[in-house]
Structure 1
């Protein structure tokens, strides 16, 4: 993958909170509802365990996150702890030389794509859609972070918080967890797929799909799995058009995405399938407990988006692989 050296980067939404981030790490996953895959040991599931907890809290009225959804002091902590990690990320040339700047460029690309493509999703929502707006921020951190959804540790993995409409990413996750613990692939585009997946949850939030998760049902056809499959499908949509996204001056941001890049994305999606994680952590897959879907489901729905097919997983009769 190569960025256009002349492209200008927008740093306004990408921020770093440094080590600790002002939070402890025990505030997520507490309360009265437990997911079938524990947080911290394979519990990254589809990389967004927190999303299901937040949705369930919104639907049931339970305070699952030990801090509510209003943000509280978390926002102040995040803003006061910001580092200058991205200060030198100005152009596509910087993105070619630095993974940090590449991450920023990818956020720009995903935002630019959805600014143009969001209108194509009319009809997904049953009348609940809001107009497009970018994520509030992409926060990188190390160790732990305060969010609008409570405190999170790096054990949770990358996630989207609908309460503050931000994505959170401990950048050590890819080497320490995805590659070493789960046997996932290593490569720059793996992280970019993850960001596109989490941004997909933001799109699901805007169009109203996230609000359709109204129960704690599990299994391959459950509402939570449908939400996850929609995020993978949206990630595929962006990947198919990433070479056409532009900076504020109309310069193309990404010059080249290879077939190998796309295969890395799919391999990463498969590595965090519920069946793969369960086979590693408990020796066998138990589909009735799935909250994020199988490796095959993840590959199939990413490919659906990549090929320009519908991502309306909640309207689909089945999200199983045909």
Structure 2
């Protein structure tokens, strides 16, 4: 979806850690749900999870926020969100925070806003260090969603997703879906049963897809708190096709077949293309979080 030109973005909701100097050396990633989420994402993108054993945390020093030309400090309007990918991430984060901070409290659940980080090369997190190869991820230990803008080109060129804006916004909304799961207490379900088409891992990922669809249904009416105007322009059929193409592109079956020439459902961690599309669309059509219960029944 394109942004309204008059939308006022708030770049303070996103940290820009590009050019932060990598992840350095130190202790290895620990266990727990954070490390597990990273492993699942690595598996999704066809990367050997064993590389995690070679990743190490940053030693002394901190990564610096980027504030010069080309930084997200320039992301102030809907025009910039339509022109620049990093600004589109900022605008999507603004819209997601505005949506969930209203939707959940109306249902008796507080919404503590997550942090969001844009990075390149590598980043340190409370779940351990990660490189760009990990792809977008959410770390529950620091309640932060992490995005390398370079991934979105990979989504299009390697995985065959549409290059449309909602294909990219869907990815951001999916990671925020994990934050909502963290609030609701469903995120750790992934660790109870980590692989297979009906596994806890797949169920958690499909619920995050459903939550992304839920946001999509209301996104064009979510208003900028500062101006009272919607962040995004009305949804078009092409927008919806773009989002569904992204959900299809990151299905386990499609990635496995492209990588190995065969499909192994017993190794699935995120769900098939059909499952991912179906649960995104269910959230979009229903607009009801209660329809996103992937944890019981067949998915």
Q: TM-score, normalised by structure 2?
A: 0.85
Residues 19 and 169 (structure 1), Cα distance of their counterparts in 2 relative to 1, 3 Å cut: same
List aligned pairs for 1:26-41, cutoff 5 A: 39=42
1: distance between equivalents of 2:25 and 2:168?
Answer: 22
Aligned residue among 121, 146, 155 for 1:178: 155
Contact persistence 1:29–1:65 (CA under 8 A): yes
List aligned pairs for 1:71-86, cutoff 5 A: 77-78=62-63, 80-84=64-68, 85-86=71-72
Q: Does 1:94 align with 2:80?
A: yes
Q: Residue 46 of structure 2 corresponds to which residue in structure 1?
A: 43
Residues 143 and 22 (structure 1), Cα distance of their counterparts in 2 relative to 1, 3 Å cut: closer
Which deviations, in whole Å up to 9, do the C-alpha atoms of 1:107-131 show, x marking residues without a partner? Answer: 1111111111114666xxxxxxx62
Aligned residue among 160, 185, 188 for 1:208: 185
Residues 44 and 206 (structure 1), Cα distance of their counterparts in 2 relative to 1, 3 Å cut: farther
Q: Structure 1 or 2: larger helix share? A: 2
RMSD: 3.2
Residues 288 and 174 (structure 1), Cα distance of their counterparts in 2 relative to 1, 3 Å cut: same
Contact persistence 1:77–1:146 (CA under 8 A): no
2: distance between equivalents of 1:291 and 1:26?
Answer: 29
Residues 278 and 307 (structure 1), Cα distance of their counterparts in 2 relative to 1, 3 Å cut: same
1: distance between equivalents of 2:167 and 2:105?
Answer: 27
Which deviations, in whole Å up to 9, do the C-alpha atoms of 1:13-37 show, x marking residues without a partner? Answer: 2121113553159988787999998
1: distance between equivalents of 2:25 and 2:42?
Answer: 11
Q: TM-score, normalised by structure 1?
A: 0.79
Residues 208 and 40 (structure 1), Cα distance of their counterparts in 2 relative to 1, 3 Å cut: closer
Which deviations, in whole Å up to 9, do the C-alpha atoms of 1:139-178 show, x marking residues without a partner? Answer: 1111111111111111111111111111111111122x32
Q: Residue 59 of structure 1 corresponds to which residue in structure 2?
A: none
2: distance between equivalents of 1:115 and 1:264?
Answer: 26
Q: Does 1:311 align with 2:287?
A: no
Contact persistence 1:17–1:83 (CA under 8 A): no
Aligned residue among 212, 233, 241 for 1:255: 233
Q: Residue 12 of structure 1 corresponds to which residue in structure 2?
A: 12
Q: Residue 135 of structure 1 corresponds to which residue in structure 2?
A: 114
Deviation at 1:38, TM superposition (A): 8.7
2: distance between equivalents of 1:95 and 1:39?
Answer: 28
2: distance between equivalents of 1:184 and 1:6?
Answer: 29
Residues 88 and 148 (structure 1), Cα distance of their counterparts in 2 relative to 1, 3 Å cut: same
List aligned pairs for 1:159-238, cutoff 5 A: 159-175=137-153, 177-238=154-215
Q: SS in structure 2 opposite 1:142?
A: coil
Q: SS in structure 1 opposite 2:123?
A: strand
1: distance between equivalents of 2:39 and 2:246?
Answer: 21
Deviation at 1:132, TM superposition (A): 1.0
Structure 2 residue runs of 5 or longer lacking an equivalent are: none
Most deviating of 255-264 and 16-25: 16-25
Runs of 4+ deviating beyond 6 Å: 25-38
Highest RCO, 1 vs 2 (Cα 8 Å, sep ≥ 6): 1
Deviation at 1:106, TM superposition (A): 1.0
Q: How many pairs does the alignment contain?
A: 288
